[in-house]
Chain A
Amino acid sequence: MPTNHAVPATSTDGLPTLAAIDLACRRGNRILFRGVNLEVRKGQATWLRGRNGRGKTSLLRLAAGLAIPESGRIVWGDTAVRNAPGYARQRVYVGHANALKDDLTVTESLTFLARMHERPSDPASVQAALNLVGMTSRSEALVRTLSQGQRRRATLARLALEREASIWILDEPYDALDADGVQAVNELLHRHLAHGGSILLTSHQSPGADAPTMVEFDLDPFA
């Protein structure tokens, strides 16, 4: 089954809009939230907020197409995200887990992810991406030897490999990062939005003064 690179018809105007329509999410026996209506347009960054356990991560997973909604829809353009052709290509999901292998080097881990997602995976591009997140000095280190913050930077280096407009779905991207790391991420976010991309992220800490302007969406009222 070849990967489908067909792009939705609406993209002639740029990146499609991610829209949650009357979305509800269940976890086990609990309904986490219901009646959520949310839009993330091209060039827009949305900061999803809410207390612990409100379903922020669950909403991101629904947006990524990993989970099925309890009710309602979440669509890319006008097709459900799980069926939207080309969505895999236009979406970058960075979850809580770093998706790095302990026994691989940073470069090897990043190269593997780049290859799977069909992004630039040649050594020069990978090194340039690691450079943008300040991981050049540790690029040949085994992931096992890195600190939490370094692992987070290595994971986020994926964002520096993006060449086309896409939607970035980021779960706590600033987690464990120091001030330099936060700045590097914010620069990536600015650049991404300027190129017509969109962002949906969660963060317990404030994105900081140098972060792009974000639309805040509070999930608490929908519990």
Chain B
Amino acid sequence: MGAAFSAVYVRDLRLALRRRVEALLPVVFFIVAVSLFPLGVGPEPQTLRQIAAGVVWVSALLASMLSVTSLYAGDHADGSLEQMILSGQSGFVVASAKAAAHWTVTGAPLVLAAPLIGLLMDMSGVALATLVASLLLGTPILSLLGGMGAALTLGLRSAGVLLILLILPLAVPALIFGAGAVSAVDSGLSTSGHFSLLGALLILTGLTAPLATSFALRIALE
């Protein structure tokens, strides 16, 4: 089981490394999207600080969704997905490995880019730290949900749009708790509730999304 996980995970990382430009596009999108807000909303620091957490979270969400559409499409097209399912390895493990690889290539860089963005939006140190922590818990949730969406929309026309429509509602709780944690810290309130819920969401998603993904993949191959 562990061997299958690492085989899929390492392979996906290797593939991303060989297409570095494509792998970095989501992060570039994230930075560009967030940078547009000070331009559109006005450079008033007070306003920016208020909307910062929400803007960063929504941009991270959209960047994740845009990059996840191709998670299974390539493997489906060249027959690799078929072989992974036929191998008898647990579909749960394969789906988890794909989501983990997606997070490593897309989610983790978003978390690392967040401090940069926070400075752009004139966030306080504590708010920034809370934002980064919330993204650290939240981006894996997005990768897991995104993987499920990609599997469900595999082979369909307009898969990208369908995926966003399907997954965005499911990602809303993470968005609310994640951005809400930063608002709480700005108001001097405790964030333990937000982080507990975010953590619970991560565990719940980690247990259910790969299962749903593996069923969706089998259906896509029939």
Contacts and interface: CB of A to CB of B under 8 A. Distances in A.
Contacts of A97: 77-79, 82
A96 B3 CA distance: 27
Contacts of A113: 83
A93 B78 contact: no
Q: Chain B's interface: helix, strand, loop or mixed, by majority? A: helix
B222 interface: yes
A1 B84 CA distance: 15
A96 B86 contact: no
B86 A108 contact: no
Interface in A70-124: 87-89, 91, 93, 95-104, 108, 112-113, 115-118
A15 to B, nearest CB: 17
B88 interface: yes
Most chain A CB within a 10 A radius of its CB, from B86, B88, B92: B88
A19 B79 CA distance: 25
B90 A91 contact: no
A103 B19 contact: yes
A3 B86 CA distance: 11
Contacts of A87: 88
Most chain A CB within a 10 A radius of its CB, from B80, B86, B92, B93: B86
Interface residues of A, number: 31
Contacts of A101: 11, 15, 74, 78, 80
Nearest to A88: B88
A115 B82 contact: no
Given A100-B78, A116-B4, A4 B88 contact: yes
Contacts of A4: 88
B78 A98 contact: yes
A67 B88 contact: no
A68 interface: yes
B80 A99 contact: yes
Interface in B13-62: 14-15, 18-19
Contacts of B83: 93, 99, 113, 116-117
Interface of B: 1, 3-4, 7-8, 11, 14-15, 18-19, 74, 77-80, 82-90, 92-93, 221-222
Which 8 pairs, one residue from A and one from B, show the smallest C-beta to C-beta distance?
Answer: A88-B88, A97-B79, A99-B79, A103-B18, A116-B87, A1-B90, A115-B7, A99-B83
